[in-house]
Structure 1
Amino acid sequence: MNIGERLNNKGDKILYFFDNGRGKGQRGSLGLFTYVKPKDALQRNHNKETIAILEVKRGQAIIDQQATGTGYIPSHKFKANFLDYYEEYVQTHKRKRNRHLQNSLKHFKTFINRKFISPIEISENFCKSFRRYLLDNFNGETPLNYFARFKWVVDAAKSDGYFKEAPTKEIAAQSNPSASLKENLEADEYLKLLKSPCVNQQIKTAFLFSCYTGLRWVDVKTLRWQQLKGNNLVTRIIQKKTGRPVVLTLHPIAEDILNEQAALNNMDLVHEPDRQKKLVFQLPSQDGSNKTLQNWIIAAGINKHITWSCARLSFSILLQDKRVDDATVAYLMGHTTTEQVQRTYKRHRPHQPMEAIMTLPHKDNWKKDSTTINPIY
């Protein structure tokens, strides 16, 4: 195991790194340095202790290489507390806009309700109990997503030698379909909301913006002017295939909402760099917004239980009603496949059932000559 060294830009310190080759990621910094010309006893002592640490690091790295594939966990890597392992895994693998991994850890801590749990306690029955806890406390895809991330952690621990077999191997992650279907808004109800006043104008305009763009609460809450390019909105949703953000073309009403927000906040008077960083909407908490939203819905004469997430569902349903293909709807909603559109963001209740059955033959086609009717009795 080689430890490389190089001078810093000033030339007064030597920086150290693991030298595993010249490929990407093969020269990871050790975060250690020594003084080229120590000026006093303090710096000389620093150099002496750093050299000792480097030898320990070298020895640990050699042991890590020798232990690979043996199932043995070197003592400097073994986490007696499985929570420590879980937290380290989350820190290493967390990604922006993907909170499932962090939330799986959060609810795992709530489930065990203590600060220490040894790996040996993570048995198959324990894992089934955690899955049951998630199913009892969350609806929809949430318990499936959280348990799937928990399985990632357990599989990684198995690869690192904590388990001979992953205790979650035979336990499938499960969703928990809600007993009550989420409401959606119809086209005529969009118009009612556009015409109806709301006690909080920011909530009204932001919710309508969600209705016309399909953005989630968190996307609208954190929307900044720098994401707007002409009549396009550059979302924070990254396409997996291209690595680029999803770009939405805005509906004219969505554009009008933004123009209204700009005028309201005197954006023309704000210096350009400062304007770019500003939030488009000034919204209270999600719970507070949903309470005001429901009062507005009732005042508009709409007899439905509507929350902010209903805007995204309505966006998808109304597009599908106009025969927009699933692939396009999925793209506009930031999904890489049509699976969620076909399974979740679709119409679950009949729309205008009378209009549907009236497509059957009308009474004008009924034969007035009753002799042509053959009775069955």
Structure 2
Amino acid sequence: MGRNDKFFNVKIREKLLKNGRVSLFLDWHDGKGKRKKEYTGLYKFVEPSNRFEKEHNKEIAVQIEVLRAERTRQFFSGDIDAALEKRKLKNQDFVEYFSNYVDNYKQKDIKVMRAALNHFIKFCPPPLSAKDVDEKLCRDFKDYLKEQLNRESQSSYFARFKKVLAEAVREKVFTVSPAINIKNTQKSQSIPKDILTIEDIQKLASAECGNLEVKRAFLFACYTGLRFCDVEALKWKNIKGSTMIVSQLKTERQVSVNLNQVAQQLLGESNKAEENVFRLPSSTGTNKVIGNWVKRAGIDKHITFHCARHSFGTNLMMYDGNISTVASLLGHTSWKHTQKYVRAVESLKEEAVNKLPSLNLDI
């Protein structure tokens, strides 16, 4: 049966909602005996009670008429199916799109990509229409990452988020990436100033901590360079005598660390192979404990769990000086990541020299 365009007419329909508003949609017959419906996402107030609601209803009346006329034009030009498909893409749930993208992602940084998704869901839980993903939302997400993470992590996660947006542009979900004008924070090539010296670590070891597991785990990280996620996942099967062998969750790179006497003492009594070595609260909870512990130890520095890794790298470079050794123990894939510890040591040496007392010279 062929098309019958003679009686074609796009009609505006209304559906009463429970919140006292009316949802507007269009419907028509496609000329082949099939009825089409298009939910526009537009609504109006049933009984406008103020100036804002009245103005809103006037604007919506114009918008729905313009859309109805556009669909009529597209029907007769043969473009209506493509227009509806494009609108469908723009109205799809962006969180679902992001999740599907991650599920099909095959690159080596999948764990970082998945972490970026998890942070986005915490920032903006579904449902979230793709048409609502604008520049402001992207900037707000960048600010959210800045509040939650260190500089390197926030940069890494936002870079993955922009990568998803770029793919969405290629798939015509967006005409232009809503984050195209947002510059990503450059990854820090230097470590935080608040690292722990050996003297600081001794103060922490002597000070009371509100959670003994946190204390053991943090000091252990100061002597092994493990990230929080790796300490949290560490099992007894990873300990082989005086050697620890772990596959880093962030990079999936395997590292082998010789445990000195202090690190072995911090491990405590061994248990079943599949048992966790440490039982820690959440990352946020752990850092809260560490903050109170650092104050109690009389250390005037902003310390988080990740500072243990930076302190390990810096102290190792200070006492050993072999960049290859430091890179290997930290599991770095490139020496460019290790160079920041070289610069940190040079900075500490310069600071130490500048602290030497001045002399009143009479020569």
**TM-score w.r.t. length of structure 1:** 0.58
- Asked if 1:252 corresponds to 2:249, the answer is no
Return closer, same or farther for 1:323/1:144 CA change in 2, 3 Å cut-off. same
> Structure 1 residue 245: deviation in Å?
1.6
- Asked if 1:147 corresponds to 2:152, the answer is no
> Structure 1 residue 133: deviation in Å?
5.6
- Asked if 1:173 corresponds to 2:184, the answer is yes
CA contact (8 A) 1:82 1:117 kept: yes
- Asked if 1:211 corresponds to 2:211, the answer is no
Tell me the C-alpha RMSD between the 2 structures: 4.3
Which whole-Å deviations, capped at 9, do the CAs of 1:19-59 have from their partners, x for residues lacking one?
xxxxxxxxxxxxxxxxxxxxxxxxxxxxxxxxxxxxxxxxx
Return closer, same or farther for 1:333/1:157 CA change in 2, 3 Å cut-off. same
SS at match of 1:87: helix
**Distance of 1:331 and 1:165 partners within structure 2:** 42
Q: 2:170: which partner in 1? A: 159
CA contact (8 A) 1:313 1:345 kept: no
Q: 2:195: which partner in 1? A: 184
Q: 1:115: which partner in 2? A: 127
Which whole-Å deviations, capped at 9, do the CAs of 1:333-370 have from their partners, x for residues lacking one?
2221233333489638954768525999999xx8x9x6
> Which residue, 294, 299, 302 being the options, matches 2:299?
302
Q: 2:99: which partner in 1? A: 87
CA contact (8 A) 1:317 1:346 kept: no
Matches within 5 A, 1:1-377: 80-93=92-105, 99-109=111-121, 115-118=127-130, 122=133, 127=138, 130-131=141-142, 134-135=145-146, 139-163=150-174, 166=177, 168=179, 171-175=182-186, 181-198=192-209, 200-237=211-248, 245-258=254-267, 260-262=268-270, 267=271, 275-343=272-340, 347=344, 351=348, 356-357=353-354
SS at match of 1:317: helix
**Distance of 2:98 and 2:247 partners within structure 1:** 27
**Distance of 1:176 and 1:337 partners within structure 2:** 15
SS at match of 2:301: coil
**Distance of 1:143 and 1:191 partners within structure 2:** 31
SS at match of 1:324: coil
**Distance of 2:123 and 2:351 partners within structure 1:** 49
> Structure 1 residue 279: deviation in Å?
0.9
CA contact (8 A) 2:290 2:303 kept: yes
Name the amino acid aligned to 2:156.
N
Name the amino acid aligned to 2:201.
Y
Stretches of structure 2 lacking an aligned partner (at least 5 in a row):
1-81
**Distance of 1:211 and 1:136 partners within structure 2:** 25
Name the amino acid aligned to 1:261.
E
**Distance of 1:302 and 1:328 partners within structure 2:** 29
Q: Report sequence identity in percent.
A: 32
> Structure 1 residue 88: deviation in Å?
0.7
> Structure 1 residue 182: deviation in Å?
4.7
Return closer, same or farther for 1:155/1:306 CA change in 2, 3 Å cut-off. closer
Which whole-Å deviations, capped at 9, do the CAs of 1:139-197 have from their partners, x for residues lacking one?
512332222111221222233343455555565422487xx955221122333334445
Name the amino acid aligned to 1:187.
I
> Structure 1 residue 278: deviation in Å?
0.5
**Distance of 2:145 and 2:313 partners within structure 1:** 28
CA contact (8 A) 1:238 1:246 kept: no
**Distance of 1:161 and 1:219 partners within structure 2:** 39
**Distance of 1:244 and 1:142 partners within structure 2:** 18
Return closer, same or farther for 1:174/1:306 CA change in 2, 3 Å cut-off. closer
Name the amino acid aligned to 1:233.
M
CA contact (8 A) 2:317 2:341 kept: no
CA contact (8 A) 2:158 2:184 kept: yes
SS at match of 1:141: helix
Which shifted more, 161-170 or 323-332? 161-170
Q: 2:36: which partner in 1? A: none
Aligned residues: 278
Q: 2:37: which partner in 1? A: none
CA contact (8 A) 2:213 2:278 kept: yes
Which whole-Å deviations, capped at 9, do the CAs of 1:311-353 have from their partners, x for residues lacking one?
1121111112125233432332222123333348963895476
> Structure 1 residue 215: deviation in Å?
0.9
SS at match of 1:248: strand
